[in-house]
Amino acid sequence: MKPDVLIVEDEPAILTSLEFILHHAGWATACVTDGEAAMQYIQLTRPRAVVLDLMLPKKNGFEVLKALRADPRTHDLPILILTAKGQQQDKLTAMELGASGFITKPYANSDVVDAVNELIGTPPLSKKTNIELS
Amino acid sequence: MISGSVVIGTSIAYVILLFIVAYISDLRARQGRWKLLRSPLIYTLAISVYATSWTFYGAVGSAARNGLEFLAIYMGPTLVFVGWWFGLRKLVRIGHNQRITSIADFVSSRFGKSERLAILITIIAVIGITPYIALQLKAITTSLRVILATNPNVSIAQTGDDLGLAFAIAAAMALFSVLFGTRNINANEQHHGVVAAIAFEAVVKFVALVAVGLFVVFGIGGGFEATFARAQDVGISLNTPDSFGPRWLTITILSAAAIICLPRQFQTTVVENADENHLKTASWAFPLYLLGMSIFTLPIAIIGLSVLPAGSDPDMFVLALPLANDQNALALFAFIGGFSSATSMIIIASIALSIMISNHIVVPIALRSPNLFGLKEGQGMTRLLLTSRRASIAATLFLGFVYFWLTSGSGALAPIGLISFAGVAQFMPAILAALYWRDATANGALAGLLTGSAIWAYSSFLPSFATSNEQIAQLLLTGPWGIEFLRPQALLGLDSFDPLVQSVFWSLLANTIALVVVSIMGENNAIGRLQATLFVDVFKQNQNGQRGFARSSAPLNDLFAMTRRVLGTERAESLFDSFAPSGQSRLNIEPTPEFITRLEKELAGSIGAASAHVLLGQVVSGDTVTMEEVMQMADETQQILEYSQMLEETTTELRSTTDQLQQANVQLRQLDQQKDEFLSQVSHEVRTPMTAIRSFAEILLTNKDLKPTQRQQFVRTIHDESMRLTGLLEEILDLNALERGEKLWANEPVDPNRALNRAIEVCTPVTDQHQVSVQLGNLAKDVRVIANFDRICQVFINLISNAAKYNDAKNPSVTISSKVDGQHLLVDFIDNGPGISAADTQTIFDKFWRGTRNPDTSQSGSGLGLAISREILGKMDGSLNLITKKNPAGKNEKTGPNKSGACFRVTLPLHTK
């Protein structure tokens, strides 16, 4: 099944939590832990959106973002940047490079889900609603 | 035979000629026609006043009695003029700068313008010169006797008639000198007329002696060779080395001192000097003159001894030889030559002494008690000075006559001259100290002069009366109170030497020692220090170096009245006119300190430095600055100089401090940047576990329907991440403490293998988890390192766990080995992991650097481990390095270009027993 959201994160604990909340929100997710793997995965499977950490081994988030924006095939791919640095300069750089959204760690889970929803619409099966309703 | 009227008539005519020379010279001087008067030739001839009747007559006598000894008399001056030319130049320069009027003025001026010194030197000079003047009287008397005698071959015995003749001559000489030397009172102004007359006389005596010499050598002797051939026959030895013994050396030293210390020599060389450069000419011309004067001495002595009958007075050979050969005209010329040499000496010596007496004895007394000399307020001192000088000349000549009288019958001329030489030689230590020794003091000079001249008076002057005084003769034989030890001519038992030698030796030795010792014990007073600098460093100053009444001022009227008192109305007016600004009246003179200082100098030229200072001090009273104040001002100036120097230093210091501060600032800025980076990194490191914790906590809060296993996993993650946060905080604090340089532990001998085993044991969970095998290679046995056990374990644990955590090899392993290298133990940790890429070798020890994490693990470090380890080892004087190895030892397995593994080497100092 083609994933809706690719999560690129090298911290295992954070990766697990992101995977959980996005999955729980109704999206199909895939996970990679470094920049190169992210590039390869995106070329192969074309997810609908990418949640991209900046501090990554092998190829950092900025490089991935830049490469994706330079490629016409991924030019419009929604990319949500996650960073633990939280510096204004990083946010500006990310926006200049064409990031679709920017979220600072530590974040509220709902912020991530809302941001992803905003980028690619409401998921076909909103578990989130279900959960909240239940 | 020459008739008395001819001799007397010629003499009087000669004197009149001298007056004419003097008059014309003065006239030319007044008209400003200086060309000839201020020529080096006149100057040199004036210095030739050194050659007196002693030279003219006595040298032949000395040669007849003692062979070549007479040469020593010429040796000293020649050595001084040729070899100590620069010293003379210093004397002359100081003489000009300080308006020095006499040798007493010179010494007293140097030693703080001391009146006592001036008086002492004047007294010593008068006593010392008295025998010399007597010598001239004796020479003239004897020569007159010889030339008038019907039978020149008969030796002249001293008779009552001689005394009368000598007195008449002394009186005539006094009159002569008074007329010459004190026609006006301008002591400071050089005596152009007198100097010209003296120069004229120098030519006369030279020509006369050479004429006699030529006649004797070629008229009687038959040439030089034939003359000297007779030397052996008459008992004059030319080849004996005995001539050049201690006595010869002593006489050389004495004559060298005399050419400077004799008051008349000081007068002609220093006071009458018009131009420093004249010394250059004099330095060769004067020795040449002496050579000419001495060249015929020995031939005349030889011929005299061989031709004239035995018992003839050798002192009169110069006269007797022409007479014996009926050369009456030549004899008369020779008489005039001798007369010339005697009169020139008497004139200059008496003038020099009279200046000293009036300036240093009469004027100071007159200044203190004006009534004593009938000085009235406003009345000029001119008359007093003139009178005192005339009286001094008369007194000097009278003393000379008295000496002549008392020592009548005491043989030859030369010994009398040497007594005078020894007397004035006592000035020499003081003069040399004045010129070259800054710390010499007035008291030192006083002590030296007193000691030296006392010994001289006792051992040289006193014995010269032995012939006329029975008691003195007895004293010479047995010593005072029969103490032979203190016999005047054999002091302290030194009787193996000539009396002259021992007298000069003891007096100059004691003189010098007293001068040095007293000077060292005491200290110069303010004015003494000032003058010492002006004298010793004369070549380093400009012409107006002297400072006197530096802050003073005085009503112009008072200054003028005082100057008129000293110089007389006419000269005072012309002096003040010369001070006045150009085109303005002398009433417009500003009595500035500079003016007063100049005035003091001018007055010093007339009445000596000490008197001028006292006199001006009276007038400038009320606002007089004491020397202490002057010195205080000088000190203040010095302080200001020092202060500005200090400011300069401070400025320099400030500049370097600024530089240091700028450097520090740059460093601080770098540190600040590092701190920012560190904070940023810390924040990142904190945010990461915080993110996980918050996220999972939210999940646990909002998802009530989680599976128990999921819930369990999430809670565990929260726990692990919390632990990670805690560990991170601890490591940050640890690193911070290490970096602050705190001494956190004591180093002691540690068994590295025990620490290694402990570390491996602690790491077992990690290595097990990563399935890393820990292998021990060769380990150095029985060694101790200087370290801390817990801390070295910490380093080892860090390295082992790093090797485990970041090892992605199929069969991960870490090999540990150690070896001794010199004073160090090297412990290597070699893994077969991914290795460190070349780009990272520089940065792995940076804080928060982390290698690629094994994705399978949740174990992760803070990124501070290597930084902390390195700090720890640094505190143990050890180090942690990454050893670059392409292919780790013992590993053939190569899993890729970057998979060559990493080798960390710990270096620790060995404990040597």
Strand, coil or helix: B165: helix
Residue B526's pLDDT band, with cuts at 50, 70 and 90, is low
A10 to B853: CB separation less than 8 angstroms, yes or no: yes
Domain annotation covers residue A26: yes
Sign of CA pseudo-dihedral B65, B66, B68, B70: negative
- Cα–Cα distance measured from residue A93 to residue A90, given in angstroms and rounded to the nearest whole number: 5
Order of all β-strands in the sheet with B903-909: B773-776, B813-821, B824-831, B903-909, B879-883
Beta carbons within 10 angstroms of residue B4's beta carbon: 10
Interface check B680 vs A, CB under 8 A:
yes
Chain B, nearest residue to A12 by Cα: B858
Section B332-350 average pLDDT = 89
Interface check A106 vs B, CB under 8 A:
yes
- Cα–Cα distance measured from residue B541 to residue B532, given in angstroms and rounded to the nearest whole number: 12
Domain annotation covers residue A126: no
Interface check A23 vs B, CB under 8 A:
no
- Is pLDDT of B717 > 90? no
Predicted local distance difference test score (pLDDT) of residue B734: 81
Range from A22-26, B335-339, B366-370 carrying the lowest mean pLDDT: B366-370
- Is pLDDT of A81 > 60? yes
Please give the structure tokens belonging to residue B875. Answer: 């505190």
- Lookup result for tokens 């809670």: B715
CB burial of B806-831 (b: ≥16 within 10 Å; e: otherwise) equals bbbbeebbbbbbbeeeeebbbbbbbb
Residue B625's pLDDT band, with cuts at 50, 70 and 90, is very low
Residue B207's pLDDT band, with cuts at 50, 70 and 90, is very high
Sign of CA pseudo-dihedral B183, B188, B189, B192: positive
- Find the distance separating the first CA and the last CA of chain A, reported in whole Å: 27
Section B51-67 average pLDDT = 84
Residue B426's pLDDT band, with cuts at 50, 70 and 90, is very high
Beta carbons within 10 angstroms of residue B239's beta carbon: 10
B717 to A13: CB separation less than 8 angstroms, yes or no: yes
Chain B, nearest residue to A55 by Cα: B684
Give Cβ neighbours of residue B6 (< 8 Å, ≥ 6 apart).
B332
- Cα–Cα distance measured from residue B345 to residue B341, given in angstroms and rounded to the nearest whole number: 6
Top residue of A58, A109, A131 to mutate, by most chain B CBs within 10 Å, is A109
Which chain B residues are within 8 Å of A55, Cβ to Cβ?
684
Domain hosting A109: range is: 5-121
Q: How many CB pairs under 8 A join A and B?
A: 75
pLDDT per position as a tens digit, B669-695: 888 887 777 777 777 778 888 888 898
Type of residue numbered A69: R
Q: How far is A88 from chain B (nearest CA, A)?
A: 12
- Cα–Cα distance measured from residue B95 to residue B260, given in angstroms and rounded to the nearest whole number: 13
- Is pLDDT of A129 > 60? no
Section B645-666 average pLDDT = 85
Predicted local distance difference test score (pLDDT) of residue B517: 92
Q: What percent of chain B has pLDDT over 90?
A: 5
Are B692 and A14 within 8 A, CB to CB?
yes
Domain B4-530: which CATH class?
Answer: mainly alpha
Identify which of A11, A21, A134 has the shortest CB distance to residue B699.
Answer: A21
More confidently predicted of B808 and A93: A93
- Is pLDDT of B513 > 90? yes
- Cα–Cα distance measured from residue B133 to residue B138, given in angstroms and rounded to the nearest whole number: 9
- Lookup result for tokens 């003494």: B528
Type of residue numbered B133: I
Interface check B694 vs A, CB under 8 A:
yes
Domain annotation covers residue A64: yes
- Cα–Cα distance measured from residue B334 to residue B207, given in angstroms and rounded to the nearest whole number: 9
Burial label, B48 (beta-carbon count in 10 A; 0-12, 13-18, 19+): buried
Type of residue numbered B273: N
Interface check A72 vs B, CB under 8 A:
no
Q: How far is A71 from chain B (nearest CA, A)?
A: 27
Identify which of A12, A16, A106 has the shortest CB distance to residue B687.
Answer: A106
Section B148-177 average pLDDT = 67
Predicted local distance difference test score (pLDDT) of residue B469: 72
Identify which of A14, A20, A24 has the shortest CB distance to residue B688.
Answer: A14
Nearest Cα to B844, choosing from B902, B891, B908?
Answer: B902
Rg of chain B over Cα atoms, rounded to whole angstroms, equals 51
Q: How far is A20 from chain B (nearest CA, A)?
A: 8
Which chain A residues are within 8 Å of B702, Cβ to Cβ?
109, 131
Which chain B residues are within 8 Å of A12, Cβ to Cβ?
855, 857-858
Section B630-654 average pLDDT = 70
pLDDT per position as a tens digit, A105-115: 888 888 888 88
Interface check B709 vs A, CB under 8 A:
no
pLDDT per position as a tens digit, B467-492: 777 777 777 777 777 676 677 777 76
More confidently predicted of B829 and B368: B829
Identify which of B688, B699, B853 has the shortest CB distance to residue A84.
Answer: B688
CATH number belonging to domain B629-736: 1.10.287.130
Identify which of B687, B857, B858 has the shortest CB distance to residue A105.
Answer: B687
- Is pLDDT of B66 > 60? yes
Which residues, listed in sequence order, are joined to residue B814 by a DSSP beta bridge? Answer: B774, B831
Residue B638's pLDDT band, with cuts at 50, 70 and 90, is low
Identify which of B684, B692, B855 has the shortest CB distance to residue A14.
Answer: B692
pLDDT per position as a tens digit, A29-52: 888 888 888 888 888 888 888 998
- Is pLDDT of B378 > 70? no
- Is pLDDT of B151 > 50? no
Regarding beta strands B813-821 and B903-909, do their DSSP bridges make them parallel or antiparallel, or are they unpaired?
unpaired
Burial label, B41 (beta-carbon count in 10 A; 0-12, 13-18, 19+): middle
- Is pLDDT of B512 > 90? yes
A84 to B684: CB separation less than 8 angstroms, yes or no: yes
Range from A79-88, B570-579, B891-900 carrying the lowest mean pLDDT: B891-900
- Lookup result for tokens 């010793």: B536
A17 to B699: CB separation less than 8 angstroms, yes or no: yes
Chain B, nearest residue to A132 by Cα: B702
Please give the structure tokens belonging to residue B618. Answer: 């009276």
Domain annotation covers residue A127: no
Chain B, nearest residue to A130 by Cα: B703
More confidently predicted of B313 and B509: B509
Tally of structural domains, chain A = 1
A17 to B720: CB separation less than 8 angstroms, yes or no: no
A84 to B691: CB separation less than 8 angstroms, yes or no: yes
B684 to A33: CB separation less than 8 angstroms, yes or no: no
Identify which of B687, B695, B858 has the shortest CB distance to residue A17.
Answer: B695
Interface check B702 vs A, CB under 8 A:
yes
Architecture of the structural domain at B748-909: 2-Layer Sandwich (3.30)
Burial label, B305 (beta-carbon count in 10 A; 0-12, 13-18, 19+): buried
**DSSP E strands, B534-603:** none
- Cα–Cα distance measured from residue B367 to residue B773, given in angstroms and rounded to the nearest whole number: 117
Nearest Cα to B125, choosing from B458, B360, B379, B375?
Answer: B360
Interface check A60 vs B, CB under 8 A:
no
Interface check B693 vs A, CB under 8 A:
yes
Section B627-654 average pLDDT = 68
B858 to A86: CB separation less than 8 angstroms, yes or no: no
Residue B449's pLDDT band, with cuts at 50, 70 and 90, is very high
Identify which of B680, B684, B852 has the shortest CB distance to residue A57.
Answer: B852
CA B155 to chain CA mean position, Å:
57
Q: Where are the domains of chain B?
A: 4-530, 547-625, 629-736, 748-909
Predicted local distance difference test score (pLDDT) of residue B784: 87
Predicted local distance difference test score (pLDDT) of residue B885: 56
Interface check B633 vs A, CB under 8 A:
no
For residue B185, what is the DSSP state? Answer: -
- Cα–Cα distance measured from residue B613 to residue B527, given in angstroms and rounded to the nearest whole number: 11
Q: How far is B774 from chain A (nearest CA, A)?
A: 27
CB burial of B363-375 (b: ≥16 within 10 Å; e: otherwise) equals bbebbeebeebeb
Chain B 855-894, residues with CB within 8 Å of chain A CB atoms: 855, 857-858, 860
Which chain A residues are within 8 Å of B680, Cβ to Cβ?
85, 87
Section B549-577 average pLDDT = 69
More confidently predicted of B849 and B671: B671
Which chain A residues are within 8 Å of B853, Cβ to Cβ?
10, 57
Which chain A residues are within 8 Å of B688, Cβ to Cβ?
11, 14, 84, 105
Which chain B residues are within 8 Å of A18, Cβ to Cβ?
695
Strand, coil or helix: B786: strand
Q: How far is A110 from chain B (nearest CA, A)?
A: 9
CATH number at residue A15: 3.40.50.2300
- Is pLDDT of B856 > 70? no
A85 to B696: CB separation less than 8 angstroms, yes or no: no
Predicted local distance difference test score (pLDDT) of residue B891: 43
**Mean pLDDT over each residue of chain B, to the nearest integer:** 79
Give Cβ neighbours of residue B609 (< 8 Å, ≥ 6 apart).
B98, B99, B100, B105, B108, B109, B113
pLDDT per position as a tens digit, B13-36: 888 888 888 888 878 877 777 767
CA distance to B728, B793, B841, per residue, from B797 (Å) = 16, 6, 21
Q: How far is B897 from chain A (nearest CA, A)?
A: 16
**Phi and psi angles of residue B222, each rounded to the nearest 5 degrees, phi first:** 80, 40
Q: How far is A22 from chain B (nearest CA, A)?
A: 11
- Cα–Cα distance measured from residue B826 to residue B844, given in angstroms and rounded to the nearest whole number: 20
Regarding beta strands B813-821 and B824-831, do their DSSP bridges make them parallel or antiparallel, or are they unpaired?
antiparallel
- Is pLDDT of A75 > 90? no
Interface check B786 vs A, CB under 8 A:
no
- Is pLDDT of B895 > 90? no
Which residues, listed in sequence order, are joined to residue B773 by a DSSP beta bridge? Answer: B813
Top residue of B695, B725, B850 to mutate, by most chain A CBs within 10 Å, is B695
- Cα–Cα distance measured from residue A132 to residue A127, given in angstroms and rounded to the nearest whole number: 8
Residue A131's pLDDT band, with cuts at 50, 70 and 90, is very low
- Is pLDDT of B763 > 80? yes
Strand, coil or helix: B813: strand
Predicted local distance difference test score (pLDDT) of residue A44: 85
- Find the distance separating the first CA and the last CA of chain B, reported in whole Å: 118
